[in-house]
Structure 1
Amino acid sequence: MQNFATVATLLSAIASGAMASPAPFGGDGTFYSPGNDACSKAGHSSSSSDLIAALNVEQFGGHYNGDTDKSQSCYKCAQVKGPKGSVKVQIVDLCPECKHGDLDLSPAAFKTIADPVDGRVPISWTWTSC
């Protein structure tokens, strides 16, 4: 009976919104010229107008040497907040030089959250549904 009460309490907290959402990641936002995506073995290319991002190696996971398309981060979405606003992007690429928390955004995504002249801005982001 105690397990039932614990489950009921947990479900009630979830339904009421009392459960805290995951803390956002923080890092630098930069932008790059998209091309062949690391998440696609078929060599899919993305363009500068797509709302996409490249994720740092540590959070990208998978196998960096060759099997990047097997990363669990591929095709997940992230809600990114910067100085000018926020944008939802899909992870399709890998940023080897980025640190934990950093995202390298497409030019279109970067322009939504910051002035491209800035080049590098502080961001926060969380995983979100696509």
Structure 2
Amino acid sequence: MQFQSVSSLFAIVALFSAMAAAAPATKRKHEYSGVATWYSPKHNGGTKAACYGEHIDDDSNIVALNAPQYGDLGSNSDWCGKKIEIEGPNGKARASILDACPECDDGSLDLTPALFTKVVGDKDIGQGDITWRVL
């Protein structure tokens, strides 16, 4: 009788182990918080992005990443080209990291005017709290 109980216990443990192994792993993306500001590539900083020298304009869905996260401002960052989702008081938007913001604090982003209005609201607001994550 004891042998059957032990065998049954092993069978139950094996069943639960198989179920756990088959369950999909959920990995949460790291979320960052900061302040969104806006800049006009046409008038502030130029139309060549810090990343790869790509052309950017006021209507581009790109962001300038804060200097602490970007790293060496004189070279392409590991962040260059990453797709992100930004959420602010006015909504959500997707963008690419293609530029650097020397004045921005850790977690903060500088957005093009078009992106700023989608995420934060009217440009006259000047800045707004955001969260963002890499897609």
Shorter-chain TM-score bucket reads 0.7 to 0.9
CA contact (8 A) 2:36 2:128 kept: yes
Q: Residue in 2 aligned with 1:110?
A: 116
Percentage identity across aligned positions? 33
CA distance in 2, matches of 1:75, 1:44: 10
Task: Say which one has the larger Rg.
Answer: 2
Q: TM-score, normalised by structure 2?
A: 0.75
Matched, 1:38 2:50: yes
CA distance in 1, matches of 2:57, 2:17: 49
Question: Which of 87, 91, 104 is the equivalent residue of 1:85?
Answer: 91
Structure 1: stretches of 5+ with no match in the other structure: none
CA RMSD of aligned residues (A): 2.1
> How many residues are paired up?
114
Question: Cα distance, 1:8 vs. partner?
Answer: 7.8
Moved over 2 A (4+): 5-11
CA contact (8 A) 2:30 2:134 kept: no
CA contact (8 A) 2:66 2:100 kept: yes
CA contact (8 A) 2:37 2:111 kept: yes
CA distance in 1, matches of 2:59, 2:109: 16
- What amino acid sits opposite 2:48 in the alignment? N
Q: TM-score, normalised by structure 1?
A: 0.78
